[in-house]
Structure 1
Amino acid sequence: MAASAKVHVTPQVIGRLRLASQGLQDGFGSVAECVSKMGAMQAQDLASAFWAVGQRVPGSGLSDVLEALENGTVVRSWPMRGTLHLVPPGELRWILAITTERAMRSATARHRDLGIDAADIAICRELALGHVAGTPGATREELFKVFEGAGQGTKAQRGIHLLWILCQHGWLVQGPPAGTAGRALGQQLFVAFDEWIPESRTLDRDEGIAEFLLRYLRSHGPATERDFSWWSQIPLAEVRKALAAVSGQLVELVFRDTSYWLSPEAAAMLDDGVPGSRTLLALPGFDEFLLGYQDRSLVLPPEHAQKVVPGGNGVFKRMIVSGGRVVGTWSREGTGKGTAVVPEPFEGTLGPAAQRSFELQAAKYLGFLGR
């Protein structure tokens, strides 16, 4: 399909195209490739992020994702929306250069309430870098003790905001898991950015926004310019300028008079029929399939939204996705080898074929965890 083509699609087709773009049909070759192609993957809840990667890298296990964090081929930081993401290490610095100023502005009132000013940040920067230099890194609690010893309070979230600021400016970054106990808790060591990521690509702002937008639309498409602006927190005017620069490398689809953009490779599926009509997946909570878009109604019927995000409290339940649509949630019961994976469809029960597919997904999930 030519990059200039315009075709009309349905919500079901959009959902299945997104499955393909996000590697949920054919998958990526490695953990590092997955995160690089996705651009950034929601990772506030680390266990969910691990399974999000596992669903996109065939044959991978939890140990593979942990290894990627341990060897630095994937890093976890706050590149946008004040939320932790998995990101490719060599791209993080230029992404932060684009997003940090706005993120810091949005936190101004909160930092004023916490009594954090430029002098405090400078003091904590020197303390933190001095403490982690030449070491494997330090836990959050260890750095809090260092700050407290210098009169920098860490209570009432002041400490985590200080660490967020140091990471936001590219002085610190989260590194390897903090030992065996830390793995279970999702704890990571904080390390010096330049020591952990010695090589970073350099892009100016316009180049960076265009690169970030192109990577997003190739991995999340079909998606709109507004989806990307919300996802990245980059102003819409700059997104539109970037889209003009990269649109020749994409295909435009029109749905309800709105333009959706995706890669030519994904759009080519429209010629022979988009796969995935019978694909059933057990996705984690916070997965990019849902969280990667401002408008989620195309894949999650609005009447069922509260079942995925009860009370709109920002906590997303694990999702059952069938044919590119969210059709239910699922839960874990028990621990260890006694862990059970239980489907909770929105309506009725899963049919025999869907139930069998779900059981295969449950087995894949438990196998990923090593159970």
Structure 2
Amino acid sequence: MAKTRHIDAAERRARLVRRQLPEPAAQSAEQVTESLVALHSTDPASVFLSVAARSRVGAADVERALYDDRTLVRMAGMRRTVFVVTDPMAAVVHSSTTAPMAEKALRDMLKLGFRGGTLDAAWVAEVEDSIVAHLSGLPEATSTELSALEPRLREPVVYAPGTKWETEQTAGTRIMRKLAMDGRIVRGRPKGSWTSSQYRWQIAPEPLPDLPAGDARAALVRAWLASYGPGTEADLKWWTGWTLTQVRAALKAVAAVPVTLDEGAGFVLPDDVDAPGAAPDRAALLPALDPTPMGWQGRGWYFPDDAKAALFDRSGNVGPTVWWQGRVVGGWAQRADGDVVWRLLADVGTDAEKAVAVEAERLAAWIGDVRVTPRFRTALERELAG
């Protein structure tokens, strides 16, 4: 019987650098996205800055892929988070993750109610069909514009009635989100710059293919292991938001090979057991919610414990990070005058400091006149921004 291979933290960091932090090159926004499986889009600026950290692609090229060519798709996905994925990956994410989320979103919506009344599935379906009909006659529209055409979107519904969390929401907030999860509408170009989240809605160009859920989960795990492996069951369960039973079934479907990690049991793809070789020295400035720092539940092998208070907010959202040789070594921010400033939280030597300075200058030039403030701010980012 072959001995189970051990992959230590140093090798994991080398894999991370080679696969997720290459030197910026002439690769497209689609290639960057595919290499990371999905880009976090809860903060829209993160998509653009994640691409900028790994390529020479400009913001206009990312916008073209998102809104004109539609080779990149913004959609709700893993852990009910909004991501950007490549067009082929959209069907995989939808069938493995988003479609079950839409079913739960409807169940959750029906637990709400109007003041003095109930909310039922027939009413929701009628409003959804009305929105789709209105959008079918328009190139695009914001939620505010649609609520003028369909006033029922403005109906107040009660969240957590009778509890200390009781509050009112508009029905439209949840209905628009569910329509997008169902794949009937898509987020279009926002109002404002690429940092804006005031999206215009459009009719989906075409329905997403309906893949068998088990096959879709296997395809997503295969993609994740190819980019993030080795990883643990806990990493995959956290990243996908699936049950442990679903994670284990997907690992079995891709014939994942067990390995041991410093933290315990892990998995790699069958063709990824051997060590990839040493990685080049690489400095990188990654944005808030970048997929690399948010790629694993267990982060001790690349994220020092003593840096977490400065670089995460209270809800577990990571802020802008500075990397060297596959490890988080500091944080950065943009000041009001446009300067990109950074601080190292570890002694990494003068070569690393010079490399970080070069990346900071490159990033400032890439951002140009735009001002970027992360949606979820961290202690160090606030301090550096001034």
Between the aligned partners of 1:70 and 1:344, the Cα distance in structure 2 is 35
Counterpart of 1:327? 329
Correspondences of 1:87-102 after superposition (within 5 Å):
87-99=85-97, 100-102=99-101
SS where residue 288 of structure 1 aligns?
Answer: coil
Counterpart of 1:112? 111
Percent sequence identity is 23
Between the aligned partners of 1:289 and 1:237, the Cα distance in structure 2 is 25
SS where residue 298 of structure 2 aligns?
Answer: coil
After TM superposition, give the deviation of residue 35 of structure 1 in Å. Answer: 2.2
Tell me if structure 2 keeps the 8 A contact 1:38–1:219.
Answer: yes
Does residue 232 of the first structure (1) align with residue 240 of the second (2)?
Answer: yes
1:68 to 65, 68, 72: 65
Tell me if structure 2 keeps the 8 A contact 1:21–1:266.
Answer: no
Deviating more after overlay: 257-266 vs 231-240: 257-266
SS where residue 169 of structure 2 aligns?
Answer: coil
2:186 alignment partner AA:
V
Tell me if structure 2 keeps the 8 A contact 1:284–1:318.
Answer: yes
Correspondences of 1:124-163 after superposition (within 5 Å):
124-148=127-151, 152-153=155-156, 156=169, 158-163=171-176
Counterpart of 1:48? 46
1:128 alignment partner AA:
I
Normalization by structure 1: what TM-score?
0.84
Q: Alpha carbons of 1:103 and 1:323: their partners in 2 closer, same or farther (altered >3 Å)? A: farther
After superposition, the CA RMSD in angstroms is 2.8
2:366 alignment partner AA:
F
1:86 to 84, 87, 105: 84
Counterpart of 2:381? none
Counterpart of 1:274? 278
2:360 alignment partner AA:
A
2:196 to 182, 185, 194: 185
Counterpart of 2:267? 261
Q: Alpha carbons of 1:62 and 1:30: their partners in 2 closer, same or farther (altered >3 Å)? A: same
Tell me if structure 1 keeps the 8 A contact 2:187–2:202.
Answer: yes
Higher helix share: 1
After TM superposition, give the deviation of residue 109 of structure 1 in Å. Answer: 4.7
Tell me if structure 1 keeps the 8 A contact 2:75–2:186.
Answer: yes
After TM superposition, give the deviation of residue 86 of structure 1 in Å. Answer: 0.2
1:258 alignment partner AA:
G
Task: List alignment gaps of at least 5 residues for structure 1.
Answer: none
Tell me if structure 2 keeps the 8 A contact 1:182–1:188.
Answer: no
Counterpart of 2:160? none
Between the aligned partners of 1:51 and 1:262, the Cα distance in structure 2 is 29
After TM superposition, give the deviation of residue 220 of structure 1 in Å. Answer: 1.6
Count of aligned pairs between the two proteins: 352
- Residue-by-residue CA offset, 1:206-260 (whole Å, 9 max, x unaligned): 211111110111122222232122211222212212212212xx66531136333
1:360 to 355, 358, 361: 358
Tell me if structure 1 keeps the 8 A contact 2:332–2:340.
Answer: yes
Counterpart of 2:226? 218
Between the aligned partners of 1:114 and 1:321, the Cα distance in structure 2 is 48
Task: List alignment gaps of at least 5 residues for structure 2.
Answer: 158-167, 370-386
1:293 alignment partner AA:
W
- Residue-by-residue CA offset, 1:54-85 (whole Å, 9 max, x unaligned): 223x2111111111112211111112212110
After TM superposition, give the deviation of residue 32 of structure 1 in Å. Answer: 1.7
- Residue-by-residue CA offset, 1:262-295 (whole Å, 9 max, x unaligned): 4577655x26x3204x322111110111112122
